Amino acid sequence: MKSASQPTSSSRIALPEGTLTVGVGLFIAGISAFIFFKIGQQALGQDGFKPIVAMWFIAFSLAPGFFLPVEQEVGRALSHRRAIHQGGRPIIRRMIPLAATMLIILAVIITIASPYLTKQLFDGYGVVVVCLILTLVSYAPMHLARGICSGSQRFGSYGIIIGADGAARVIGVAVLWALGVNSVGAFALMIALSPLVGVVGVGLFGKLRTEAGPPAPWSEVTPNLGWLLLGSLFAAALVNAGPITVDILGTNAKPELITQFGNAVIFARIPLFLFQAVQAALLPRLARLAAQGHLDEFRSALRKLLVLVVGVGVAGTIGAFAIGPAVLKLVYEGGIDRRTLTLLAFSSALYMVAVVFAQATIALRGHALAGTGWALGFVSFVALAAWSSNDLYLRVEIALVGSSAVALVSFMLALRHRMLKFS
């Protein structure tokens, strides 16, 4: 494939189209996560909030892990049909039963595992298992709606869906706190129901409408779904594994230790949270440049994004080292030292850079290589968490840094391979 000789405007723009619009919604969602954790701990205490921390990180491993590929494939397929002036409604009709099947399978697995989850992770609160299932029921249509919005270039609606989720959750728990409610189930329910607010809102305004078009064969909507699902599952598990692993390994640890580690992860992931705005619009742009044979522009866009992401990652790591303990003490009454915050921020920085290389690899049709890279990262996380240290926090910190580095190196090699193949 030959590269274009003349650069276009896309090579001169550091951020993909839609980044800033989506970024507003993500900013609201990010702030709301801080507030949710703060209000929850004020109402339930750090020990009482521990089941909510466990549910939070499990939910955000499973929901994106299973349904983000649906969102990506819907967005890709609708974008393609839009380019050739075909309606995308048959795409949605194909994906709804597929997403519903995945949801049912997940619900059955969680139900079977509910005795373990209730006893080991949720401190005996069976209602949290129910809310975990309800969370997946809410996030499945949310990811489908986001796919419709991204594929239809409705980035304002995409941002509203994300922002409304966080805002509704905070408003809900603020009302509970004001009313003196200290039920773990009530706070878990706020996580479960909030995703539907934005979906219903944009739906009522007609932003999820699609036009009639020619039938969509399975090959149109699932050519790479298996590899995307594999990569998404391991990537989501990797980024959310820290607090869950601390909970599993720290069988005799005080509940507040898990809550405090969760607080640190939320703080350290601020740059990663904002990076999702770039990620949401990154893949379509890189895929378009690759499909058009504009490899010079592809390299230029990728280089600029890497400069941006590395800069944000470095700033986040330095910020965690310099002010992290003071911020956590101010907001969450501390409990985490400088080393932990710095290593968590560094692992997030490595993860962000890995995502850029993974998305670029996928854009060059390296779905299998991307899925394999995330699998290698997760396997290395498990190995490092099991054998790296006897210190509960340190073994998880080493595992997060090491696994992100393994994934990054894997994607760098994979991208080099795909670039040579496309040259």
41-92 per-position pLDDT tens digit: 999 999 999 999 999 999 999 999 999 999 988 988 898 888 788 999 999 9
Span 399-422, pLDDT tens digits: 999 999 999 999 999 999 998 887
Residue 209 pLDDT exceeds 80: yes
CB atoms under 10 Å from CB of 394, counted, come to: 14
Task: Over range 361-376, report the average pLDDT.
Answer: 92
% of the chain beyond a pLDDT of 70: 92
Binned at pLDDT 50, 70 and 90, residue 205 comes out as very high
| CA pair distance 221, 65, nearest whole angstrom | 18
Yes or no: say if 227 and 182 are a contact pair by the CB < 8 Å rule. Answer: no
| CA pair distance 240, 57, nearest whole angstrom | 6
Structure tokens at 14: 């550091």
The mean of the pLDDT values for the chain is 89
Q: Residue 139 is which amino acid?
A: Y
Binned at pLDDT 50, 70 and 90, residue 12 comes out as very low
pTM of this prediction? 0.89
Q: Residue 110 is which amino acid?
A: I
Yes or no: say if 372 and 393 are a contact pair by the CB < 8 Å rule. Answer: no
Yes or no: say if 271 and 344 are a contact pair by the CB < 8 Å rule. Answer: no
Task: Over range 180-200, report the average pLDDT.
Answer: 96
Cα separations in angstroms, 137 against 62, 131, 194, 235: 11, 10, 11, 21
Yes or no: say if 44 and 182 are a contact pair by the CB < 8 Å rule. Answer: yes
Binned at pLDDT 50, 70 and 90, residue 10 comes out as very low
Yes or no: say if 306 and 59 are a contact pair by the CB < 8 Å rule. Answer: no
Distance of CA 318 to the CA centre of its chain: 23
Domain boundaries of the chain, sorted by first residue: 17-223, 226-423
CB-based burial of residue 252 (10 Å sphere; 0-12 exposed, 13-18 middle, 19+ buried)? exposed
Distance of CA 390 to the CA centre of its chain: 29
Residue 4 pLDDT exceeds 60: no
| CA pair distance 157, 153, nearest whole angstrom | 9
% of the chain beyond a pLDDT of 90: 69
Task: Over range 267-274, report the average pLDDT.
Answer: 82
